[in-house]
Amino acid sequence: MEKNLLSNAEVDENTVEQNFEDEEVKEKINKDMSESDIITALLNSNADDKPTMIVPLKRLGIPVTLKALTGKQVSRVRERNTRTVEKRNKTEKVLDSEGFNMGLIIASTVKPNWSAPELLNKFRASSGEEVLKRILLGGEISLLGDVVLELSGYNISIDDIKNL
């Protein structure tokens, strides 16, 4: 399903690929930058410019535009979907993975607006998450959640970082 769903995925013009093996990226990053050069570069950077990706959902015949999330945004979604459970006199934190993926999708979606009044009325839903539950298959929810995490830099390997 994943291969079929993403095989025709388009990446829009604003997408920034996080491929650290790319020579162009290596040239832009000076390993010997001083502390003040790094701070100046950060001050001059546009932190609001986040990678985006258009994912076509063939089954529904619609494109979904997703943007990367910051670490803080991902942490908030994770916290909202983590509950404390007591097992054998031990307290454990358990992540609701379906809720986590839906939260990631809602926070990351540029378009469509899952909370549009027309969708809420059509699907008799009280929120965008309810709309997602009613129209997307479980695998589609999981896949879109994975795309959000990938866009947000969660699948960068240590080897990619070392190659800088």
149 has a pLDDT exceeding 60 = yes
pLDDT at 14: 38
Domain count, the chain: 1
Domain interval for residue 20: 2-162
3 has a pLDDT exceeding 50 = no
Diameter of the chain measured on Cα atoms: 57
* List of long-range contacts for 40-44, beta carbons under 8 Å, 24+ apart: none
Which H/E stretch holds residue 98?
helix 97-108
pLDDT at 12: 38
pLDDT at 160: 55
- Domain containing 80 — which CATH number? 3.30.2220.30
Q: What is the mean pLDDT of residues 116-145?
A: 94
4 has a pLDDT exceeding 50 = no
Query: What letter would DSSP give residue 45?
Result: S
161 has a pLDDT exceeding 70 = no
For the segment 14-40, what is each residue's pLDDT rounded down to a tens digit?
Answer: 333 343 345 555 566 666 778 887 788
The Cα 151–Cα 156 span in angstroms is: 10
Nearest to 152 by CA among 13, 59, 50: 50
